[in-house]
Structure 1
Amino acid sequence: MKTMDKNLLIELNNYNVGKIKVSHTKNSDLALQNKYIFFPGFDIVEFPEGINWNYKHNHAAGTYQIYLHCLTIVRNLVNSYLMTKMDVYIKKAREIIIQWMTSSSNETYYSKNSSWRDHSSARRMKTIIYFQQNSPEDYKIDENLFEELLVKHCDFLSRKEFYAENNHGMMSDEGLLFLSCYLTNESLSNLYRQTSVLRMERMILKLFSSKGYNLENSPEYHRVTQNIASDFIKLTKY
């Protein structure tokens, strides 16, 4: 991870936390029993012998796949560690990340599962950064492996073939800009930063009217895209 001023690291970590209050939830305790809730309101899914990254839910296979690969449960476990200071939670979070990193199902951008999709990739790497920043030294991912994973996620999010000209593209841009802040290679960092800014400028011109309204005329869609754009603007200041 890039060496940064301590205050900047804190600001980026606070940005990564977002608007959700850091708290200990039952989801973390369930995860210790290999029972997982990928997202609030989802069914409990049990993997007694390691996570099946190709898992398909009976009624919402695509949605469950995306949130499984977002590694939201890792963020829950990190939050539980921060609230309780119990190593068991951060140890489990690390275990899940390692499982994801070493699974042959997640190796290629063209995997049949949802490991490499715009939404899951951006969310996942932000979560892994959250883990890396808030874990004790003994549990952190090896720096070389972390950097390799970070570069791979930036590469994926920057590629035109995986970029969607809609709100998902905006998610990719916000994620790419955030990830670029942590790259040790300054040239790569600047390249990905420039890529994300240029694409986001184009998307804002495409999706919003001159009065700032989303051209889809959907209140929910407007809220989502406006929030992503606002977050992106905040990130450009770092």
Structure 2
Amino acid sequence: MIFKNKKNKKTIEYAKKIIDNKLIVHPLWGHVEIKDGIDWKQDPFNNGTWCYYLHSLSSINYLMNAYEDEKKSVYIDKAKEIIKSWEEANNSSEKSVSKYAWKDHSTANRVVAIIYFWSIYINSELYEEEFEHQLILLLEKHGEFLYADRNYNFRNNHGVYQDRALIELSTIFPQISNSQLWYEKAVERLLTYVNKFVSEKGVHRENSSSYHILMLRLLREIDNFLSYHGKQISKLRNTIFKMEEYLAYIVKPNGIVPMTGDSGPDSVRFIHMSEIKNPKMLYVRSKGKKGEKPVKEIVYEDDGVAIFKDTLKKKKELYIYFTASFHSLAHKHADDLSFLLTIGDTDFFVDSGKYNYQENDEYRKYFRSTLAHNSVTVDRKTYELKSAQLRKSKVIKYGINHDYNYVVGIHELYPGVKIERTLIYLKKMSSVLIHDKLQSSKTHTYSQIFNIGKDVEVTSLTKKKILLKSTADEKEIELLQVNHVTEYKHYFGEEAPIAGWQSSKFNEKYPINQLRFSNKSDNLEYKTIINLEPNSDSGIKNYVLKTANGNKYTVICKNGESHTFSV
């Protein structure tokens, strides 16, 4: 067993283009014409991510996938040509034509691609012992590079790709003199990563639902590889089990994960049921046919995440996600105290998506900012995402009750400003309360921001009463501001200032509605109501807060009834 990229519907098409000197390194970009060999210095899309894929030799994966389907030696011959060309241009980290050649991620992925090629090449009619020897020497050079601590990425998941490459390299080629040292180092680093970036409850702390899935699958691949070769790391297996359970809770009823941090709308249907070990994840993946049903509401207090699920009228599924988590910089957005809300197949309040990884791109800056998340912005600017901010955001209180659930989070990510948000879901009233307390010794402009899903129409009846209607199923909800609102802004795909955008595909964006409610003060409160059944008499028209003996919220319903809840 070796690691290899899975085939897709266009594998053969891509491989044939590469044979025809039309280089493809990833489906996100088109092909690049090859003239007189590959130019390893090129950056045709002005995009560092494309360069990483180029130097990962990802094109070899398409060629080897195609060979396994068609058994045509032309694919092997082309892959051999690419490897030789790359080595001639980038013989070592000191002598390479591109800064992307010997980077953590590209070097690790290149090892996996070359071993995939080697596994097919040694049994092919094109096999030459001399070239195999050359390949092993090249892999040995890669192993020494990956082994050196100075080249290892301790900051994020790139290090795990390095661990995977060293584990595979040392296992497949035990005859290399330092292979055992490589293996031991890789396992040590892998466990260090798991202890740092995966919590005790199985939450991947790189701030992204998509990367939770990515790392779950990568760790499972490593575990399967080790098991096949008679090795096992018990800590790794236990971590995978817990990560599966967390995924069972955060996934929306439609099987899509929330687009938190650098995420896209990834689906759990790509996880095969035979791979799943956790019974709660199995229940979700099998749509209730197997496994154990997860509870509807759960709060990961130490990880800063709350998930509330319920069934509304007409059997529509409600999903609420709340975050107050700043455990690392990896794939982090300025989304602390933000929430997401989905009913059925309609995302009413949404996250931005990642857009791309070009940090100088003005839209990338926007997508990572507080402006693109359902939280509070101070002085119309985002807070800084830097290491000094770590752990300045957290859940401080929560409760799960028969009639209502709540979660309270705080952060002090803006200098001199303390922000506290309480989110309460009132089950019988089918309503959500949001209470924001903003405290500072100085006067600021505080903007409460709501980003609305692309399938939702917005009707502003007043600057304090907004109707949101799904174009998918005509489901309607109501947003009310109890407090005074000095300024109300409604944006839709604006470019100056950038506002009202979402991205669900890499390097692509589309306009969405964004609502901003702004007031100016030193200390300020926002009291917001979201009625999920706005035409019901049990819906809320107002609420008041008393803090004499703890926080008590009294809500006044449209039918005149009042109810009090302690938080």
The answer on 1:212 being equivalent to 2:199 is no
Separation in structure 2 between the aligned mates of residue 219 and residue 24 of structure 1, nearest angstrom: 27
Deviation of 1:66 after TM superposition, in Å, equals 0.7
Deviation of 1:184 after TM superposition, in Å, equals 4.1
Q: How large is the Cα RMSD of the aligned pairs?
A: 2.1
2:92 aligned residue (108, 116, 121): 108
Tell me, which stretches of 5 or more residues in structure 1 are unaligned?
A: 1-11
Letter in 1 for 2:144: D
Separation in structure 1 between the aligned mates of residue 148 and residue 207 of structure 2, nearest angstrom: 29
With the length of structure 1 as denominator, give the TM-score of the two structures: 0.85
Letter in 2 for 1:109: S
The structure, 1 or 2, with the larger RCO (C-alpha pairs under 8 Å, 6+ apart) is 1
Distance 1:79 1:217, change over 3 A: closer
Distance 1:216 1:113, change over 3 A: closer
Deviation of 1:182 after TM superposition, in Å, equals 2.1
With the length of structure 2 as denominator, give the TM-score of the two structures: 0.37
The answer on 1:138 being equivalent to 2:122 is no
1:30 aligned residue (17, 32, 35): 17
Deviation of 1:168 after TM superposition, in Å, equals 0.6
Aligned-residue sequence identity (percent) comes to: 33
Distance 1:187 1:49, change over 3 A: closer
Where 2:126 maps in the other structure, the secondary structure is helix
Contact 2:4 2:112 in 1 (8 A): no
Separation in structure 2 between the aligned mates of residue 144 and residue 230 of structure 1, nearest angstrom: 31
Deviates more, 1:149-158 or 1:136-145: 136-145
Equivalent position of 2:106 in the other structure: 120
Distance 1:49 1:26, change over 3 A: same
Contact 1:71 1:127 in 2 (8 A): yes
| Deviation digits for residues 19-45 of structure 1 (CA, Å, limit 9, x no counterpart) | 445975211221122111111121211
Tell me, which stretches of 5 or more residues in structure 2 are unaligned?
A: 230-567
Contact 2:174 2:180 in 1 (8 A): no
Runs of 4+ residues deviating >4 angstroms: 21-24
Return the structure number with greater strand share: 2
1:99 aligned residue (72, 85, 109): 85
Deviation of 1:221 after TM superposition, in Å, equals 2.4
Contact 1:23 1:83 in 2 (8 A): no
Deviation of 1:108 after TM superposition, in Å, equals 2.4
Equivalent position of 2:355 in the other structure: none
Contact 1:69 1:120 in 2 (8 A): yes
Distance 1:212 1:201, change over 3 A: same
Deviation of 1:128 after TM superposition, in Å, equals 1.3
Separation in structure 1 between the aligned mates of residue 111 and residue 10 of structure 2, nearest angstrom: 21
Aligned length: 222
Distance 1:22 1:161, change over 3 A: farther
Separation in structure 1 between the aligned mates of residue 91 and residue 34 of structure 2, nearest angstrom: 20
The answer on 1:156 being equivalent to 2:142 is no
Where 1:25 maps in the other structure, the secondary structure is helix
Deviation of 1:229 after TM superposition, in Å, equals 2.2
| Deviation digits for residues 147-173 of structure 1 (CA, Å, limit 9, x no counterpart) | 211111111111111111110111111
Separation in structure 1 between the aligned mates of residue 118 and residue 176 of structure 2, nearest angstrom: 20
Distance 1:102 1:182, change over 3 A: same
Where 2:38 maps in the other structure, the secondary structure is coil
Equivalent position of 2:281 in the other structure: none
